[in-house]
Structure 1
Amino acid sequence: MTPLEIIANFFNLGSVFLANRNNVHTWWTGIVGTILYGVMFYEVKLYADVILQAFFLVTNVYGWWAWAYGGKDHDELPITRIHWPQLMLFTAAAILITVGHGYLLYRLTDANFPFVDSIVLVFSIIAQFLLMKRKLENWLFWILVDAVACPLYAAKELYLTAAIYFLFLALAVSGLLNWLKLWRAAQIESVEGG
């Protein structure tokens, strides 16, 4: 366990906690944590995770803007749902891309656990995209990512990060339930107000 791992996990845990609470400050804390994670994953040769952190850096900036001003009238973006066929399409595409990316890492790099690392990469990208759009189903993808990442990081002796991802898993389950409650309340308010 290094000081870098401790500080990176502090910021990333804070970011996920704030996302769970539907709080816009999730994004700036995510930016800091993302940069630190990128350095850490590079040091342990989890290259798909380094790529993922670069993606997160860009999406955290966009997500910050989208949550604050991405609504219909340039106001706060509401929690919405994704349609079932879209969800199935995202899932099928993620599986195919994961296999292809894992194969490339296996053949072209010295990456450890290339296929498992690719699951974390690809499904995180979809989860983050859905989170940026404030789609409730983002939490389903985060649950999968966190469940896969825990043993991956433990295998790389990133024990603190593995433990944090276990907390991320609990926060993702809690986030799903919390956002579902918020979404239902907004639906009731919309029906009563309209």
Structure 2
Amino acid sequence: MSPLEIGANAFTAVAIVLAGRNSVHTWWTGIIGCTLFGVLFAQHRLYADVVLQVFFVGTSLLGWWRWLRGRAGAPLPVTHAGIRTLLWMLPAGVAATAAYGALLHHYTNAYAPFVDSAVLVFSVIAQLLMMGRRIENWPVWLLVNSIAVPLYASRGLHLTALLYAGFWVNAIVSWIWWRKLAARNAAASMVPARETA
């Protein structure tokens, strides 16, 4: 366990807990954690995860802005994703996992290229949903964490594997919490309509 792994895990743990609590501070703490993880994963030849961390840094900047000023300058509310969004996610995720895994398998010395690619692809999907404050980001994170824990443990990244096991629990708690927030938002938006009817 290196100081780099400890630092990456510490910042990322804070970011994930803040995301679950719907706090905008998840984004800047996540940027630091993802940068540290990018370096760590490069050292362990988990190249899909390195690409993923670069993606996370970029989308964290955008997510930070969207959460603060998402709709006409107002903070973005927690809502559900549309059915069309959900219907494309699984087949697109499987196809992208297969394609990227094949690239890593044939052109790099990547460890577990298809498993590593699944972590990348479904993390991208979850991150895009989170940027839009969509509740469904949490079940996708459950899938990602279920794949990531054994992958990281197999590379000797035991602290990281333990952290992702904690993320699994956090995703369940956060899923429940965000559903409550969405219900409150929906109820609050209906009050003026009833009053004017």
Q: TM-score range by the shorter chain?
A: over 0.9
1:56 is aligned with what amino acid? F
Report what 1:108 is aligned to: 107
Give the RMSD, CA atoms, in angstroms. 0.8
Paired AA for residue 133 in structure 1: G
Q: Shift in Å at residue 193 of structure 1?
A: 3.0
| Rounded Cα–Cα distance in structure 1 between residues aligned with 2:147 and 2:4 | 22
1:193 and 1:160 map into 2 onto residues whose CA distance is 49
The residue that corresponds to 1:4 in the other structure is 4
In the alignment, which residue of structure 2 is the partner of 1:144? 143
Q: d(CA) in 1 for partners of 2:127 and 2:190?
A: 29
Partner of 2:123: 124
**The residue matched to 1:80 in structure 2 has which SS?**
coil
2:23 counterpart residue number: 23
Q: CA deviation at 1:28?
A: 0.3
> 1:30 & 1:11 partners in 2: Cα distance?
7
**Which sections of structure 1, spanning at least 5 residues, go unmatched?**
none
Tell me what 2:185 maps to: 186
SS for the counterpart of 2:160 is helix
- Write the distance in 2 (CA, Å) between the matches of 1:192 and 1:62: 31
- Letter in structure 2 aligned against 1:50: V
Moved more, 83-92 or 40-49: 83-92
Could you tell me which residue of structure 2 aligns to residue 43 of structure 1?
Answer: 43
Q: Please state if 1:77 is matched with 2:90.
A: no
Question: What residue number does 1:160 align with?
Answer: 159
Stretches of structure 2 that go unaligned for 5 or more consecutive residues are none
Classify the secondary structure of the residue corresponding to 2:135: coil
Structure showing greater radius of gyration is 2
1:98 aligned residue: 97
Please tell me the residue identity of whatever aligns with 2:121.
V
Q: Give 1:123's aligned amino acid.
A: F
TM-score relative to the length of structure 2? 0.96
Q: Secondary structure at the match of 2:134?
A: coil
Shift of 1:97: 0.6
Q: 1:14 is matched by which residue type in structure 2?
A: V
Distance in 2 between residues matched to 1:63 and 1:86, nearest whole Å: 18
Normalised by the length of structure 1, the TM-score is 0.97
